[in-house]
Structure 1
């Protein structure tokens, strides 16, 4: 049976002024426009800089005599030349990959951490094949030069190169590590690996880069062919190393020590959902916003070795932080048994799923499953900080069953306090739709009505003038794909749809 309705405004609500000053809304929208312009400028600058580094690498190769090897050399020389330039490009892309995953704030705020990591994965699919081409072209080139020929000759050349020095042996190990990382990044392999094992394997990317450095900066290599080439590569190595060291390791440790986060309480929300509230020192100085997530590590047996990304499920108030977690695995289920006072280490905050880029007065919040957590925090921010006029926010909360709607009572109180609307959408999903089926539940009724009703049409009925809303969306990945499709068909421009994806 389908349930679609607006939650009654009779339940108790927090003390929030019902009048929403228009100037607060105008200020919020003006800041949103300024932030969008900032994001566009920073994104353009970052992309132009990345492209410039690739151009510099290619120019450096040709100025260092690479054009002679490719144009005028023998067949063997040309193969070696191809291997050389491909190796330079591959290392440059690998370092850019590490920067994308270094949690640099400007990258995070411009793109969002999920999109930055997606670009990181895309570059990985390019970089590893280039590294293999680099090794293969050089081995074949030397084989052709020596006239060995055949598979045996190529293998002999490879073994000769590998044993030609410690730097080449380390570079070979680095290549093997990169291949292992690439293999474990394939979707089939990811499904068989736990997050903890996948994360541990990917940390070896740092070891791969470190092992490759002696070979790259050895005397006579293309990385040290000229003073400016040496300066370029040393600068890039230092920038990447400093970024990773500071943003991934030192800053999280310093923040965790400074704020001294401890578990304050654990609340059982439903059969498999728990909320964990933490408190600490000077939390008003931790720059976390509603909608963002942190990587949480609890100093408790069985939990300490892995950090997991969970969004704050309540607007940060400067005193406490709260996450709400569904027990999808042994790690998340173990949070139910955390003891008061357990120390908490955090990395972050991360993510661009915030109202910073909001430029429209009306807001549509769509959530499913545990994806409700950042949506609930954003709603609280809009209500408490009075950044939305009464009636300008609509919350669509999707679930197969009413028992699968954690935090729904809190959301109902917040929408009531702000004069907004909550529309629960309850029932098994219709085929190919993110919405429950229409009709009285009978197969004939559902089939007859679904033939003439698209998701876009139903969305327009649920949310009049939906095309004029700023939309925030969080839930399972395939479900979000269907929602985005419906939103596009209903006339919502892509730039006004915001989501966050936590797939790894």
Structure 2
């Protein structure tokens, strides 16, 4: 049979995820409605809606909405466990990026509308109106610096600039978002007419910011520091797996209590020169056992390329686990795993877990050169059926992951649930092939490797 009934705990987990996503969206919508209500009811009833007052009032609204969404952005990536379990880190990051464009638009609208309101009121020039705004409202110097930081963050996250700067530079630019939020907060309370004369709005705004700051401090700093002390993780040794891949073995006490499952990833920060300033996501290629666990990484960027030089004994800080790319995501007894490059890491533990569950597992392992890494371990996972496809497209004369060759390789592919993990280009090819071969999108689970790995 091609399908299987998911056990009750898995069904409950899926139901929780579905309801969690709906609830999180509902909270975002409710928050925006709350901002609109706070703006509307705090607007003086005696206000005469002239062009100048309308521009100013809309500028205040866009500023309030932008500030609320900035807090929402921060909360989405604050590692709050409920959010991650309900939505998944990949979707949270995607929502965070999507909100970024909206926040940037609202901040720019706030600035332009406030300047326009003053210009219409005074019949002056835009430059004179800008100077008037900067000198007439309290805490404007800090607000100006914070706004400029937000603009730099928004520009650096656009596709073209993002491709021209290193991950480390991009990461530390985004750390300044906390500074920007702090610098603009006091201006909101001291200059925003919807807060100065409305104690209820003011209290609600302070609670919003305190809750956001508490979530960041708790799940990004305090709890990771406590976990680091408990596990005292260090690099045990590094193994060159060939084909541009290296395995980093990690040792420490109580690693089995991390709760990491097959297919999940963690955020690792290696306390070594060139590594300690940023944390990167890596999936495990061997689950914790006997005080050891392993990640297998490819040379995808400057950071991962340098990891082969890590020295034994290097301290490691780890957060997580994260991700829904696990055996629980699948409903069918027949499963196909398609791995490429460093994607073999999470696929190896997925294969091991699925085989242990008694699933019918086939793996297609794509490697453009040399002997595939971890192949010996995969061959030992009986009764796993392993197809290794080695060689560049030029050498092979075709793309082995195109629909026709993939269909010949796995004859019953339409009956299988599919996990895909590898570079972005490979994932796009596989998506197109699976669609042509009649595999439903609901039966496809993806983990795409990027420069962040």
TM-score past 0.5 threshold: yes
- Look up the match of 1:412: 379
Per the normalisation by structure 2, the TM-score is: 0.92
- Look up the match of 1:259: 231
Q: Is the 8 A contact 1:80 1:138 kept in 2?
A: yes
- Look up the match of 2:36: 58
- Look up the match of 1:112: 88
The answer to whether residue 296 in structure 2 is matched with residue 324 in structure 1 is: yes
- Look up the match of 1:35: 13
* Worse overlay, 464-473 or 90-99: 464-473
- Look up the match of 1:399: 367
For residue 301 of structure 1, report the CA deviation from its aligned partner: 2.6
Kindly indicate whether structure 1 or structure 2 has the higher relative contact order, using CA contacts under 8 Å at least 6 residues apart. Answer: 1
- 1:160-179 paired onto structure 2 within 5 Å: 160-164=132-136, 167-179=139-151
Which one has the largest radius of gyration? 1
CA distance in 2, matches of 1:118, 1:171: 28
For residue 454 of structure 1, report the CA deviation from its aligned partner: 9.8
The answer to whether residue 357 in structure 2 is matched with residue 387 in structure 1 is: yes
- 1:54-453 paired onto structure 2 within 5 Å: 54-65=32-43, 72-148=48-124, 153-164=125-136, 167-218=139-190, 221-270=193-242, 272-317=244-289, 319-383=291-355, 386-389=356-359, 392-403=360-371, 405-414=372-381, 416=382, 419-429=383-393, 441=397
For residue 165 of structure 1, report the CA deviation from its aligned partner: 5.3
CA distance in 2, matches of 1:251, 1:81: 42
For residue 225 of structure 1, report the CA deviation from its aligned partner: 4.6
For residue 232 of structure 1, report the CA deviation from its aligned partner: 2.5
CA 224–43 in structure 1, closer or farther in 2 if over 3 Å, else same: farther
- Look up the match of 1:7: none
* Worse overlay, 261-270 or 292-301: 292-301
Per the normalisation by structure 1, the TM-score is: 0.83
For residue 147 of structure 1, report the CA deviation from its aligned partner: 1.9
CA distance in 2, matches of 1:494, 1:224: 51
Q: What whole-Å deviation, never above 9, does each CA across 1:195-249 have from its counterpart, x for those lacking one?
A: 1111000111111111111011226532455343223222221221111111112
DSSP 3-state at the match of 1:501:
strand
The answer to whether residue 428 in structure 2 is matched with residue 487 in structure 1 is: no
Q: What whole-Å deviation, never above 9, does each CA across 1:365-384 have from its counterpart, x for those lacking one?
A: 1111111111111112223x
The answer to whether residue 420 in structure 2 is matched with residue 473 in structure 1 is: yes
Q: Is the 8 A contact 1:32 1:359 kept in 2?
A: no
Consecutive unaligned residues in structure 1, runs of 5 or more: 1-21, 431-435
RMSD (Å), alpha carbons: 2.5
Q: Is the 8 A contact 1:114 1:501 kept in 2?
A: no
CA distance in 2, matches of 1:359, 1:32: 10
For residue 275 of structure 1, report the CA deviation from its aligned partner: 0.9
Q: Is the 8 A contact 2:403 2:436 kept in 1?
A: yes
Q: Is the 8 A contact 2:138 2:191 kept in 1?
A: no
Consecutive unaligned residues in structure 2, runs of 5 or more: none
* Worse overlay, 286-295 or 27-36: 27-36
Q: Is the 8 A contact 1:31 1:356 kept in 2?
A: no
CA 160–346 in structure 1, closer or farther in 2 if over 3 Å, else same: same
